[in-house]
């Protein structure tokens, strides 16, 4: 239910915020008001300026111009500490969890109860349990976070932001790694916090979340604010049009031909404790694996790509060859390519440029006598940048300076270049693990179109996604993971979000 009454004085007010990087404007005179008890959505295409605005508000960046007021009083925010002192907390899109610390230690990081300079573990764990209990989260607080799943670490990251009981909470793509049930728990908690007067800025590419949960929406495009109004007075179509400047065609994939031969087959095998009685993918087919986060889908994809636990027993065929690839080079030689779930950790190389990252999948093909061929590199990177509409100042820009969605496009692009220049003896088997996490609606539609074009061209595609609507939109068939086993396989005639939820729980 949307808020109908708001206090006259904004809890947070930003006026004329501007920021440029190397002469390129990222924000241009942006205004924003946020009131207590309100959830304000800030949306825009990748690279529109959302992350820059949030970093300025939370003290991670300094604006070039503009003013910020808290409860009507001007404040100077030049550091994260200044923002904390002003009552602003943030949970960023990239999870800020230290793997070697326990869940409780991460929740309380920087706020540990001390005595004579030593951390008091008893009170630390008691406070962490109180916070987790209030959120309704059952996570083993004494486990190291490196042993937990991505969704569990995302929830811990949000809990960590709430420890200081801020007046203003900023959530950047909070549900990107969460299951539907985890997202519902999160939103129930956020509604409770709103009722207590907390002011929330909510950044999401999921329009359904915005229209179901938020009160107000601000749209950024190319660094400018192009819309500001109540959610109840607009439509998803209008928001998308303002975000990308055009209408988005987003039709469901519907296979129109008989699929080719079986390119992937798993029978009576076990991977990382997940039983796989049967799983097949045909040439030209998009097949999904649906299950709760941490159910083993990621391990299956990584094993097929030569970078996961070895399968135990069974009959295995991977892109037409018997047996499972033993190494990543072995998988690539077979035409098996993985777009991994955690792009900065598994798919990209921080510190390298956009062009260098694009070429990491094709170093052998673009080299002669151990030296990269400059002309071929530039042409291939330019074509991938154009084909995927990657938004960057130049291909020499550091990958870390791109928005999350544009980083994901680069993760796709490195394999597109390989497919275009690799061996033609086998059509590709593409493994996609949460392929559109952190990607805006316009870019999602473009990536969906790319996936469908690859399937029409004869590629075999196996996809795991935490977004069930995405699975229903893209797949020809969906295997459901439950009770540590791949079980029911749904055909398109049986697709529904309710059926998926029933099968995986």
What's the pLDDT tens digit per position in 96-143? 889 999 999 999 988 888 888 899 999 999 999 988 887 667 788 999
Whether 4 is in a domain gets the answer no
Three-state SS for 67? Answer: strand
pLDDT tens for each residue of 179-220: 667 778 778 888 888 888 889 999 987 888 899 999 999 999
Q: In three state form, how does the secondary structure of 80-106 look?
A: HHHHHHCCEEEECCCCCCCCCCEHHHH
Whether 1 is in a domain gets the answer no
Asked if 158 and 283 sit in the same domain, the reply is no
Asked if 353 and 442 sit in the same domain, the reply is yes
Q: How confident is the model at residue 248 (pLDDT cuts 50, 70, 90)?
A: low
Asked if 334 and 426 sit in the same domain, the reply is yes
Q: Give the chain's length.
A: 505
Whether 305 is in a domain gets the answer yes
Asked if 378 and 282 sit in the same domain, the reply is yes
pLDDT tens for each residue of 354-370: 888 888 876 556 555 45
Whether 3 is in a domain gets the answer no
* pLDDT more than 90, % of the chain: 39
Show the domain range for 44.
12-244
Long-range (24+ apart) CB contacts under 8 A made by 370-377 are: none
Domain end (from 244, 277, 300): 244
Asked if 394 and 467 sit in the same domain, the reply is yes
Between 39 and 46, the more confident residue is 39
Q: Is residue 381's pLDDT more than 80?
A: yes
Do the Cβ atoms of 359 and 381 come closer than 8 Å? yes
DSSP strand pairing (114-115 vs 118-119)? antiparallel
Whether 155 is in a domain gets the answer yes
Asked if 331 and 430 sit in the same domain, the reply is yes
Q: Is residue 372's pLDDT more than 90?
A: no
Q: What is the mean pLDDT of residues 474-482?
A: 91
Number of domains in the chain: 2
Do the Cβ atoms of 43 and 213 come closer than 8 Å? no
Asked if 222 and 370 sit in the same domain, the reply is no
DSSP state of 311: P
Question: For 215-251, b where at least 16 C-beta lie within 10 A, e where not — what string?
Answer: bbbbbbbbbebebeeebeebeeeebbbbbbeeeeeee
Asked if 266 and 234 sit in the same domain, the reply is no
Q: Is residue 4's pLDDT more than 50?
A: no
Describe the strand order of the beta sheet including 73-75 as a list of residue ranges.
24-34, 12-21, 65-70, 73-75
Q: What is the mean pLDDT of residues 76-95?
A: 88
Whether 447 is in a domain gets the answer yes
Q: What is the CATH number of the domain that holds 478?
A: 3.40.50.300
Asked if 55 and 198 sit in the same domain, the reply is yes
pLDDT of residue 436: 84
Asked if 277 and 364 sit in the same domain, the reply is yes
Whether 83 is in a domain gets the answer yes
Calculate the average pLDDT of the chain: 85
Asked if 168 and 108 sit in the same domain, the reply is yes
Q: Is residue 342's pLDDT more than 50?
A: yes
Which range in 67-71, 201-205, 454-458 is most confidently predicted, on average pLDDT? 67-71
Domain end (from 182, 215, 244): 244
Asked if 309 and 388 sit in the same domain, the reply is yes
Phi then psi for residue 194, to 5 deg, are -60, -45
* pLDDT more than 70, % of the chain: 90
pLDDT of residue 157: 86
Burial of 127 (0-12, 13-18, 19+ CB in 10 A): middle
Do the Cβ atoms of 385 and 359 come closer than 8 Å? no
Whether 250 is in a domain gets the answer no
Q: Is residue 254's pLDDT more than 80?
A: no
Domain end (from 244, 279, 304): 244
């Amino acid at each position: 239910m949307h808020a109908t009454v708001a206090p006259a004085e904004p809890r947070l007010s930003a006026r004329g915020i501007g920021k440029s990087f190397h002469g390129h404007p990222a924000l241009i005179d942006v205004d924003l008001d946020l009131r207590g008890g309100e959830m304000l959505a800030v949306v825009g295409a990748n690279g529109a300026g959302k992350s820059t605005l949030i970093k300025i508000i939370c003290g991670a960046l300094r604006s070039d111009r503009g003013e910020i007021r808290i409860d009507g009083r001007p404040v100077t925010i030049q550091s994260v500490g200044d923002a904390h002192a002003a009552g602003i907390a943030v949970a960023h899109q990239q999870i800020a969890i230290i793997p070697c610390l326990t869940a409780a230690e991460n929740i309380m990081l920087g706020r540990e109860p001390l005595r004579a300079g030593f951390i008091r573990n008893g009170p630390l764990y008691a406070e962490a349990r109180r916070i987790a209990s209030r959120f309704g989260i059952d996570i083993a607080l004494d486990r190291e976070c490196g042993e937990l799943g991505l969704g569990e670490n995302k929830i811990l990251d949000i809990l960590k932001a709430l420890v200081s009981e801020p007046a203003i909470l900023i959530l950047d793509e909070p549900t990107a790694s969460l299951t539907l049930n985890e997202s519902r728990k999160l939103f129930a908690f956020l509604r409770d916090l709103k009722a207590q007067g907390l002011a929330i800025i909510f950044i999401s590419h999921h329009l359904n979340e915005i229209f179901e949960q938020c009160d107000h929406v601000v749209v950024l495009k190319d660094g400018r604010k192009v819309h500001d109004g109540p959610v109840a007075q607009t439509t998803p179509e209008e928001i998308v049009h303002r975000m990308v400047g055009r209408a988005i065609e987003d039709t469901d994939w519907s296979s129109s031909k008989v699929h080719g031969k079986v390119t992937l087959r798993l029978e009576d095998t076990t991977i990382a404790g997940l039983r796989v009685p049967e799983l097949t993918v045909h040439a030209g087919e998009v097949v999904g694996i649906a299950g709760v986060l941490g159910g083993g889908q990621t391990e299956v994809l990584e094993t097929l790509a030569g970078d996961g636990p070895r399968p135990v027993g069974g009959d295995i065929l991977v892109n037409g060859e018997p047996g499972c690839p033993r190494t990543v080079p072995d998988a690539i030689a077979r035409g098996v390519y993985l777009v991994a779930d955690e792009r900065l950790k598994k798919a990209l190389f921080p510190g390298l440029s956009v062009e260098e990252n694009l070429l990491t999948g094709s170093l052998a093909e673009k080299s002669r006598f151990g030296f990269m061929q400059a002309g071929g590199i530039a042409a291939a990177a330019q074509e991938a940048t154009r084909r995927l509409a990657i938004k960057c100042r130049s291909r020499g820009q550091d990958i870390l300076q791109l928005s999350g969605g544009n980083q994901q496009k680069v993760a796709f692009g490195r394999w597109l270049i390989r497919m275009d220049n690799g061996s033609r003896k086998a059509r590709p088997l593409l493994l996609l693990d949460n392929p559109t996490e952190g990607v805006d609606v316009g870019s999602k539609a473009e990536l969906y179109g790319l996936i469908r074009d690859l399937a029409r061209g004869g590629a075999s595609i196996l996809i795991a996604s935490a977004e069930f609507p995405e699975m229903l939109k893209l797949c020809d068939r969906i295997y459901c993971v439950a009770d540590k086993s791949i079980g029911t396989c749904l055909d398109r005639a049986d697709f529904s979000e309710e059926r998926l939820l029933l099968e995986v729980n």
